[in-house]
Amino acid sequence: MQAPKVAARLVAQDSDHVVAIWHETVITVFHGAASLHQVLNITKVCEALLAEAQGAVTYLGVIERASPAPSETVRRALATWSRDVVPKTALAVIVVEGGGFKSALVRGVSVALTALLPHRVPFKFTGSVEEGAVLVAAFLPHKAGGAAELGLAIAELRQRWEAKRVNGAVG
């Protein structure tokens, strides 16, 4: 695998998720079930980047095939995050890996949340990191290198995280 010019800066990780920052993009990957603590941490990371960033802040979240639907408590926290934080970003992209029923379920939950909590939610949904990176690319700083570099940064982040998970180095 080709290495990105700039690696994503790891912010938090455990066996179920990883959070990183790459330029002005918050990246999350969920392998297992999302917890309330994880969602609250993502909220803090997004808010901190929004406060310090020089340009447009974006979010790209990947939900891996193995990641189950969140609990009711976590869904409420995600609804608050999508209402209070996401509208401040230039764009938020959710990549739902696995397609089919799971993708439809995630979209359905998102539509239900936005119907229950009406607000401006600039979410886009895709089935691959490559598609998500293309959407985010329009908001990346020129020095970032575009969608291809974002894709490389995510692939390298996942590789580092997977190596730590396999070796038992993450909680």
Residue 5: partners with Cβ closer than 8 Å, 6 or more residues away: 145, 149
Q: How far is CA 35 from CA 51, 74, 76, in A?
A: 25, 6, 11
Domains along the sequence of the chain with CATH: 9-166 (3.30.750.24)
pLDDT tens column, 140-159: 999 999 999 999 999 999 99
Cα–Cα distance for residue pair 131/133, rounded to 1 Å? 5
Of the candidates 167, 92, 80, 82, the one whose C-alpha atom is nearest the C-alpha of residue 135 is 92
Q: Select the more confidently predicted residue: 2 or 148.
A: 148
Residue 11 has pLDDT above 90, yes or no: yes
Conformational region of residue 15, where left means phi above 0, alpha means psi within -120 to 50, and beta covers everything else: alpha
Rounded mean pLDDT, 51-61: 95
pLDDT tens column, 71-115: 889 989 998 998 899 999 999 999 988 765 555 555 555 555 555
